[in-house]
Amino acid sequence: MADLLKPDLCVIGAGSGGLSVAAIAAAFGVPVVLVERDRMGGDCLNAGCVPSKALLAAGHRAQAIREAAAFGIDVPEPVVDFARVRAHVRGVIASIAPNDSAERFTAMGVKVIKAEARFVDARTVEAGDIRIQARRFVLATGSRPAVPPIPGLDTVPYLTNETVFDLDVRPRRLIIVGGGPIGAELGQAMRRLGAEVVILEAGRLLQRDDPEMAAVVGRALVSEGVELRTGVAIQRIGGKAGAIEVTLAGGPGEAPETVEGSHLLLATGRSPTVEGLGLEEAGIAVERGAIRVDGGLRTSNRRVYAVGDCAGGGTEGLRFTHAANYHAGIVVRRALFRLPASVDNRVMPRVTYTDPELAAVGLTEEEARARHGSVRILRWPVAENDRAQAERRTQGHVKVLVGRGGRILGCSIAAAGAGDLIVPWMLAMRRNGTVSDIANLVFPYPTLSEISKRAAVEDLKPASRSGLLRGLAGALRWLG
């Protein structure tokens, strides 16, 4: 007979969202059961944010060596030992893993169960030989790489973000299908580490971002030797290991074209993990492939919540670790303390960690004009920043969308460290502030952060041309 547990909270999935829910609840002394079928830390630690940023860091170091001559430092072309690069990536994962380990969470008071979890009815989950009847359940099962239905794909070996970090030999020529954040980041990293790279994208690069800002990243990739092919249609894939062939449809009156490579990486998005959970038995609805939730992340079963990548309800385009952690806080407030809380994605940041980075919050220009009509646009180039000139990192600019009364509708930054530079804009928007709030801040000199102030000060220029204000200044001068 299966053991029966009756905790206050059962969390299914030990990725970022699930771990956050379990940790917060345990800190309040709440009995928590955490069920994970695979590796603690989920995608972020093992196959996502952590390994990808470690690989990017290796690529940054190689590129810094190539660019050292501009600073008067002559060094030869870097020699990349790809097996040691992989060891670096694995070392970073290993150094962070204890924070997400079963041992750490057990020490917090969380009961960790390593097993498949499945609902057997609306209030019972079965995990191995244990049954769990919790007061509330939280689904945090994450997502997996989406595999597109391309003819011939099943006949050749391919990589995803879950397997690309296992490579210990540098690809000779890497074909990446998909020009989203994963494709752009890994494409640049692999190119900087010495691989030839071609990115194939059906639409445009970084389609969810403002095209003006995405173009900054595109130019950087091309300048470093990435072959960027946008607006292409893949007819089929063939070949064999080490000799992959991707056939592209030709235009009107044109013959198909074949792109050859040694390795193939799919970077075509992610799909929520919802299979095998017994959702139907629990009365939990699935919509467009994700778990349907309301504004407070509750599913169609009032006892069950969903957070992170597996949740739908308008969160589908926000599959970020920081979004999952944000969801965790909402669920804890609602499930444990019965406090009102709902998702507000208006100030959810998004960052692509290329070089330059591309960070954004709020609306794009197209979205802002569609919703608000007249929109003022403020821009300031990174090249006008003294620190950027000193470090020779002058690519990119700030773009701010301003509505009535100086309200900030959105901000995008393409620059080195843009993911950090976006934070003041997020705070201003969260507090319903205006662009004047940024203009009136004192930023330390010389820092890249000053580009935000310079962009904001652009909003004051029309006032400087006001005849009334010029007249007032002249009158005050006359009065001494």
- On whether both 139 and 7 belong to a single domain, the answer is yes
Does 477 fall in a domain?
no
The SS3 call for residue 240 is strand
Q: Is the pLDDT of residue 464 over 60?
A: no
Does 478 fall in a domain?
no
- On whether both 139 and 32 belong to a single domain, the answer is yes
The per-residue pLDDT for range 267-318, each reduced to its tens digit, is 999 999 999 999 999 999 999 999 999 999 999 999 999 999 999 976 666 7
The percentage of residues in the chain with a pLDDT greater than 70, rounded to a whole number, is: 95
Q: 345 with 324: CB under 8 angstroms?
A: no
CA 290 to CA 368: how far, in whole Å? 27
- On whether both 100 and 172 belong to a single domain, the answer is no
Domain of residue 40 covers 3-145+271-345
- On whether both 363 and 311 belong to a single domain, the answer is no
CA 261 to CA 242: how far, in whole Å? 7
CA 373 to CA 404: how far, in whole Å? 10
171: which 2 tokens? Answer: 């690809």
CATH classification at residue 276? 3.50.50.60
- On whether both 262 and 282 belong to a single domain, the answer is no
The per-residue pLDDT for range 119-149, each reduced to its tens digit, is 999 999 999 999 999 999 999 999 999 999 9
Q: 397 with 212: CB under 8 angstroms?
A: no
- On whether both 369 and 387 belong to a single domain, the answer is yes
Q: Is the pLDDT of residue 442 over 90?
A: yes
The SS3 call for residue 424 is helix
- On whether both 96 and 54 belong to a single domain, the answer is yes
Q: What is the mean pLDDT of residues 35-51?
A: 95
String of b and e for 406-426 (b: at least 16 CB within 10 Å)?
bebbbbbbbbbbbbebbebbb
- On whether both 26 and 132 belong to a single domain, the answer is yes
CA 159 to CA 226: how far, in whole Å? 18
- To the nearest whole number, what is the mean pLDDT of the chain? 94
The per-residue pLDDT for range 148-200, each reduced to its tens digit, is 999 999 999 999 999 999 999 999 999 999 999 999 999 999 999 999 999 99
- On whether both 173 and 48 belong to a single domain, the answer is no
> Which of 268, 301, 331 lies at the terminal end of a domain, its last residue?
268
Binding-site residue numbers for NAD(+) are: 178-185, 201, 269
Q: Give the DSSP letter string of 105-160.
A: HHHHT-EEEES-EEEEETTEEEETTEEE--SEEEE---EEE-----TTGGGS--B-
> Which of 268, 285, 303 lies at the terminal end of a domain, its last residue?
268
pLDDT score at 472: 54
Q: What is the mean pLDDT of residues 385-406?
A: 97
Does 473 fall in a domain?
no
Binding-site residue numbers for FAD are: 53, 141-143, 309
CA 25 to CA 31: how far, in whole Å? 8
- On whether both 124 and 41 belong to a single domain, the answer is yes
**How far apart, in Å, do the first and last CA atoms of the chain sit?**
94
Binding-site residue numbers are: 53, 141-143, 178-185, 201, 269, 309
Label each residue of 127-138 as H, E or C. ECCEEECCCEEE
Q: 448 with 388: CB under 8 angstroms?
A: yes
The percentage of residues in the chain with a pLDDT greater than 90, rounded to a whole number, is: 92
Q: 262 with 173: CB under 8 angstroms?
A: yes
State the total domains in the chain: 3
Does 202 fall in a domain?
yes
> Which of 222, 243, 268 lies at the terminal end of a domain, its last residue?
268
Does 480 fall in a domain?
no
pLDDT score at 315: 63
CATH classification at residue 426? 3.30.390.30
Does 476 fall in a domain?
no
Q: 226 with 187: CB under 8 angstroms?
A: yes
Does 469 fall in a domain?
no
pLDDT score at 467: 59
26: which 2 tokens? Answer: 């345990």
Does 472 fall in a domain?
no
- On whether both 189 and 59 belong to a single domain, the answer is no
The SS3 call for residue 357 is strand
- On whether both 249 and 190 belong to a single domain, the answer is yes
